[in-house]
């Protein structure tokens, strides 16, 4: 493999507490029921609007969802790295891959600004070929357009690329792009969601062995 594309939330970084805290903050501001952090594990992955839609009571209007999303984003932008941390061994693995000549990229459904900020903070000095979040130019994963754009930007083909993620969304994205999917078991989704992956790994060391 020449290019490794990583998902961000649940794969490189454990972001769930900051995402959940931001959503609960907005819910509390409006006197609405809040959720346990464990519940947010199944709400994330399909973009911020979907997260807010799922956190709000069923039947909430589109206008209210839009208002709450704006409030959520304003809060989250200022508090996105309070509890967020890299998963064990992932900083070292990313650096080893880079130093060994692999091209690296991030493909996330998180807002672009947040994706760039967290990657720069927790993986400083890594020359990523692309750091891509949710931006108007591309549809959200599992659409493969973002991954294809990253491959074009890195100058590699599908046969030279692999995607690493923690959810069925990432697996579907990889397969839609015609590339293998490696699923990590330490993320936000249960193992039962990862069965379609080409490989499942349970530690950074296992991922290192598979890639290198």
User: Is residue 114 classed as helix, strand or coil in its secondary structure?
Assistant: helix
Among positive and negative, which fits the CA dihedral 123, 111, 26, 59? Answer: negative
Backbone angles phi, psi at 130, to 5 degrees: -160, 145
Is 7 known to be catalytic?
yes
Q: Round to whole Å and give the CA distance between 50 and 23.
A: 12
On whether the CB atoms of residues 115 and 132 are closer than 8 A, the answer is yes
Q: Where are the beta strands (DSSP E) in the chain?
A: 3-6, 13-14, 85-86, 103-111, 130-134, 161-165, 181-184, 199-201
Residues annotated as catalytic are 7
């Amino acid at each position: 493999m020449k290019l490794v594309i990583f998902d961000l939330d649940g794969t490189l970084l454990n972001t769930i507490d900051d995402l959940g805290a931001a959503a609960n903050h907005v819910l509390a501001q409006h006197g609405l029921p809040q959720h346990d952090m464990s519940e947010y594990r199944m709400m994330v992955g399909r973009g911020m609007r979907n997260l807010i839609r799922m956190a709000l009571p069923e039947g909430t209007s589109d206008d209210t969802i839009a208002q709450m999303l704006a409030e959520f984003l304003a809060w989250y932008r200022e508090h996105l790295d309070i509890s967020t941390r890299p998963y064990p061994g992932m900083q070292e693995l990313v650096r080893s891959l880079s130093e060994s000549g692999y091209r690296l990229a991030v493909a996330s459904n998180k807002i672009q600004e947040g994706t760039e900020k967290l990657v720069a903070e927790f993986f400083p000095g890594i020359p990523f070929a692309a750091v891509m979040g949710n931006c108007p130019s591309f549809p959200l994963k599992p659409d493969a357009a973002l991954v294809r754009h990253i491959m074009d930007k890195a100058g590699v083909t599908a046969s030279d690329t692999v995607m690493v993620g923690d959810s069925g969304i990432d697996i579907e994205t990889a397969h839609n792009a015609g590339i293998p999917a490696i699923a990590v078991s330490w993320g936000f989704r249960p193992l039962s969601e990862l069965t379609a992956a080409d490989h499942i790994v349970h530690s950074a060391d296992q991922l290192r062995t598979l890639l290198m």
